[in-house]
Amino acid sequence: MDINSVAAGSPPLKVLFVASECAPFAKSGGLGDVVGSLPKALRRLGADVRVALPLYDSIAREKYRLVEEPSCRVVCGGGEVNGCGVWRGMNDGEVPVWFIEHNRYYARPGIYDDHGAEYGDNAFRFGLLCMAAAQVCHDRHWLPDVVHVHDWPTAVMAVLLDAWRKAGVPLGRAAGVLTIHNQGYQGYYHPSALGYLGLGSEYFTPDGLEAWGKINLLKGGINYADAITTVSPTYAREILGEPGGNGLSGYLQRRGDDFVGILNGADYDVWNPETDRLIPANFRATSLIGKGQCKRELQAQMGLAQDAAVPLFGMVTRLAAQKGTGLLREALPAALNEMQLQLVVLGSGDHDDENFFRWLARSYPGRVAVEIGFSEELSHRIQAGSDFFLMPSLFEPCGLSQLYALRYGTLPVVNATGGLEDTIIQYNQGEGQGTGFKFYTPEANALRATIGWAVSTWYDRPSHVTLMREQAMQQRFEWEASARKYLDVYRRAVAKRGG
């Protein structure tokens, strides 16, 4: 236990994470990484953190050695009783995780959708998760001081805490902390879910959950959480205004000092080129021979021309408008026609984007390789084997992929927004300093010019690429530093609750 983080003699702060994703069990993007790593960092600082997650079909009970515990009985609004199985596992041997089993809701192929078709009952699915997580704590006499929820799926927990507080339910004494990982997804649903959650009409107001006649789950969380965080300081500023706030900036502004931006960290236990077992050769800043081998093998594996001299751009991404796919569609064909470069893409999501990248690979054989799908292993190989990492997001709350790229000496080419602005140091051509290439207007021409800037630096100023790589690989975004800031937020939220 860290004596700086927990006052001497006081019991450890008890924190329950309730989330829709947690790596490695269930992950569709960075939210999964954060819920997989932040609890570990908090535990190392002395907090007693536990996680509650749905037991999705895709989670292999044997692989993760999950153990069945006594089930729980959740009484929903209107008296409907849902029996839920409860399984317990450990994340990375350090963080206890409760998996909530409910076949009707969670035994499905996807987390939120089935190949793009969103599940219509998500408000019920994740609402049940919140209620079951509370019931599990109650049954085990483990009452958290803080319940930390993430994005729209579990934001409603902050509203539930308010209702339980008023009804004298013990768990209602916990402080509610909401982290916004992406203001672009808010969770709009039919108000019928309110009854299921046991929330009365007093919550169906513009200052509660109501928005345009529906419920907006993220809005409910913003209005009721004791503290709200988002995942980078620049994104915090962006969503306090429009268009970044997606209609909710006014509600965030009202929260004043209760709202802060805390930069995510990277889990260097998982993302470390010196020890990574998923890549063909390990390497470090002082010896990059292994990186050359990773590039050769990536080119061979993906059917690209095996040429060490050509700059290889990598992408690992959800394919969604947020990630700048519109700019890429316009800029990439021209860039490939004008410049000597290769591109490797791993991604899935929007069907039109997927088709664009398939077309690009067919049109530039040997120069462009595309894998549509989700692969942890290939994502590491791309980070390790590429020279540049392409991430022209229109907005990016934090972004973890560029942090991993830095650690692997793969220089990010990014739009200077949100966490990308906060974590990438612009290349200074005079001195060869910097960790990446940024552009400041989200337009295809700017992206094309910046790809061109990276390519010309590669060919004309190779010593600068070497210097930048060194600087990039030395950057550290440790979870420990972020976890200390979360502990401060927790303490303030608990104090507000009179704890």
Give the residue carrying structure tokens 């991604």: 347
Q: To the nearest whole angstrom, how small is the minimum distance from the Cβ of residue 397 to ligand ADP?
A: 7
| CA pair distance 123, 161, nearest whole angstrom | 17
Specify the DSSP element, H or E, that contains 414: strand 411-415
Q: Is 270 in the site for ligand GLC (CB under 6 A)?
A: no
Q: Is 397 in the site for ligand GLC (CB under 6 A)?
A: yes
Q: Is 30 in the site for ligand ADP (CB under 6 A)?
A: yes
Positive or negative torsion for Cα 277, 278, 281, 282: negative
Among 348, 410, 417, 450, binds ligand ADP (CB under 6 A): 348
DSSP 13: P
- Selected range binding ligand GLC among 25-33, 40-48, 408-416, 446-454, rule: CB under 6 A: 25-33
Q: Is 291 in the site for ligand GLC (CB under 6 A)?
A: no
- Selected range binding ligand GLC among 13-21, 253-261, 286-294, 392-400, rule: CB under 6 A: 392-400
Q: To the nearest whole angstrom, how small is the minimum distance from the Cβ of residue 163 to ligand GLC?
A: 28
Q: Which residues contact 232 (CB under 8 A, 6 or more apart)?
A: 261, 262, 263, 264, 397, 398, 418, 419, 422, 423
Among 82, 182, 342, 482, binds ligand GLC (CB under 6 A): 182
Q: Nearest CA to 335 among 440, 256, 442, 445?
A: 445
Helices 151-167, 217-224: inter-axial angle, 10-degree rounding: 50
Q: Which residue is nearest to ligand ADP (CB)?
A: 30
Among 161, 248, 384, 398, binds ligand GLC (CB under 6 A): 398
Q: Is 246 in the site for ligand ADP (CB under 6 A)?
A: no
Tell how far CA 259 is from the center of its chain. 19
| Partner whose footprint covers residue 346, from ligand GLC, ligand ADP, none (CB < 5 to 8 Å by kind) | ligand ADP
Q: Is 482 in the site for ligand ADP (CB under 6 A)?
A: no
DSSP string, 135-166: HHHHHTT---SEEEEEHHHHHHHHHHHHHHHH
Among 255, 318, 485, 497, binds ligand ADP (CB under 6 A): 318
Nearest residue (CB) to ligand ADP, 194 versus 370: 370
Nearest residue (CB) to ligand ADP, 264 versus 457: 264
Which of positions 209-248 make contact with ligand GLC (CB under 6 A)? 231
| Partner whose footprint covers residue 316, from ligand GLC, ligand ADP, none (CB < 5 to 8 Å by kind) | ligand ADP
Q: Is 316 in the site for ligand ADP (CB under 6 A)?
A: yes
Q: Nearest CA to 129 among 161, 154, 109, 111?
A: 154
Binding pattern for the stretch 392-431 against ligand ADP, x by CB under 6 A and - elsewhere = ------xxxx------------------------------
Tell how far CA 302 is from the center of its chain. 27
HSE at residue 94, side-chain half, CA atoms within 13 A, is 15
Determine contact, residues 361/302, Cβ cutoff 8 Å.
no
| Residue 49: exposure state from Cβ atoms within 10 A (0-12, 13-18, ≥19) | buried
Among 14, 40, 148, 181, binds ligand GLC (CB under 6 A): 181
Q: Is 29 in the site for ligand GLC (CB under 6 A)?
A: yes
Q: Which residues contact 206 (CB under 8 A, 6 or more apart)?
A: none
Q: To the nearest whole angstrom, how small is the minimum distance from the Cβ of residue 142 to ligand ADP?
A: 30
Nearest residue (CB) to ligand ADP, 210 versus 371: 371
- Selected range binding ligand ADP among 26-34, 100-108, 159-167, 218-226, rule: CB under 6 A: 26-34
Q: Nearest CA to 294 among 286, 442, 302, 445?
A: 302
Phi, psi dihedral angles at 261 (to 5 degrees): -105, 125
Which two three-digit tokens encode residue 136?
């599990």
Among 36, 187, 220, 347, binds ligand ADP (CB under 6 A): 347
Nearest residue (CB) to ligand ADP, 119 versus 185: 185
Q: To the nearest whole angstrom, how small is the minimum distance from the Cβ of residue 212 to ligand GLC?
A: 24
Q: Is 353 in the site for ligand GLC (CB under 6 A)?
A: no
Determine contact, residues 134/127, Cβ cutoff 8 Å.
no
Binding site for ligand GLC (CB under 6 A): 29-31, 34, 181-182, 231, 264, 396-400, 419
Binding site for ligand ADP (CB under 6 A): 29-31, 33, 316-318, 346-348, 374-376, 379, 398-401
